[in-house]
Each structure stands twice: as C-alpha cells, then as structure tokens.
Structure 1
Amino acid sequence: MMKKNCWEFKRCGREGGRPEDEFRICPAVYNVALDGAHDGMCGGRACWTVKGTFCNGVVHGTFEQKFKDCSTCDFYEYVKEQEGDELLPTFILLEKLEGLEQ
C-alpha cells in the first residue's frame, strides 16, 4: 500500500512547488524530528503536530491552536486508517518535536 505524505495527499505545492514561492516551504517538509513517523518523510505523516503548516488556505499555529481542525482532516483520517493499531499516539509525536527544539 502506498503511503502518501500530506503534501502529496493534499497537493498543496508547499513541498517546493509553485505555491511555495508565495507561502514558503511547509515546516512539515523539513521537520527531521518526525522523519519516519508512520513511514513518512520528515513530518509528512504527522503534520497535525507540526506548527506553521498551511492547509485549506490557512496557516496554522501551534498544536493547541490547530488540532481541532486537524482531527477532522481527511489526511489525518487517511493516516489513521492506514496505520490502524500502529498509529503513534500524538503525545509521542509531540515529545519527538520537543526533543528537537531543546
């Protein structure tokens, strides 16, 4: 089964495509702390934990500010369905991010 990263699923272009010129490269693309999470590249399969992502025309802030929207996102549901019991708990993903910031 092909596992897509958020930018492939959403086709936002912020992985270095055309919209990137206007909005910059998405932080999920270069967030190495989450590399490999759910078999994704950088934060591409855990974007709901990455602050500053751009989705549905809006730049999202911190996890606390964005998770309500992310928890109903079609990509989040896609990852949950693919990962099943192997889905990493969000607190584990957040701990990985905190480790990078220290």
Structure 2
Amino acid sequence: MKKSASCFLAALVAVGMMSTAASADVKKGQKAYLKTCKNCHGSGTKGAAMHTQDEWDDLFANGAAKIIKAHANDKSAAYFNGDLFKSQAQDLRDFLFEYGSDSGNVPSCG
C-alpha cells in the first residue's frame, strides 16, 4: 500500500511540474509588455496595476476580445490584430495577472 501511494504522489508531482512548464511565461510576458505596451501605459508596475486579477482574466477571455476592442482605434491596433499579439497574448495575460492591482506582487524591473 505504501509503495502504490508513493508512486501516485510521484506521478502527481510530475504532472504538476509538466503543467507548470507548459503554461505561459510571466517573464516573456514582461518582455512583451516592455516592448509593446510601456510607451502608452507606463512601467510594468503601473500597467499591471491598472486592473485586478479578475479584471485581467476578463479582458483576456475569448481570445482577448476586450483588449483588442479597447485598442481598436489607437496606433497599436495593428499589433493587437496581428499574429505577434496572438502568440504573446497568454504570456502578457500571465504577466499582467501576476502583478494585478490586488495581487500583492511587484515586478522586479519595468
């Protein structure tokens, strides 16, 4: 019984590690933010604090439809409608969520 429980726990830990590795990357999101969002929204600390974590989830839901709509009439519209944003959206969401105004976290740089 102990051996099967140990195997189960080891498998659970392994699956947990794989799912974490497969998720988006907060650091990549921070880099994307600094390249594409900082000019209009300020530092990463200021930009991420514009919304709570739940609000960031809502803004990035449904393929980030609300973020895209919010930027439809500004100079960044091409970015938000392009493939680069589609490839970076999950990383950006994870960065902004990680440092949302109610998270208690502060990015180290930017």
Identify the structure with the greater helix proportion: 2
Higher Rg: 2
Output the TM-score relative to the length of structure 1.
Answer: 0.31
Structure 2 length-normalised TM = 0.30
Higher relative contact order (CA 8 A, sep 6+): 2
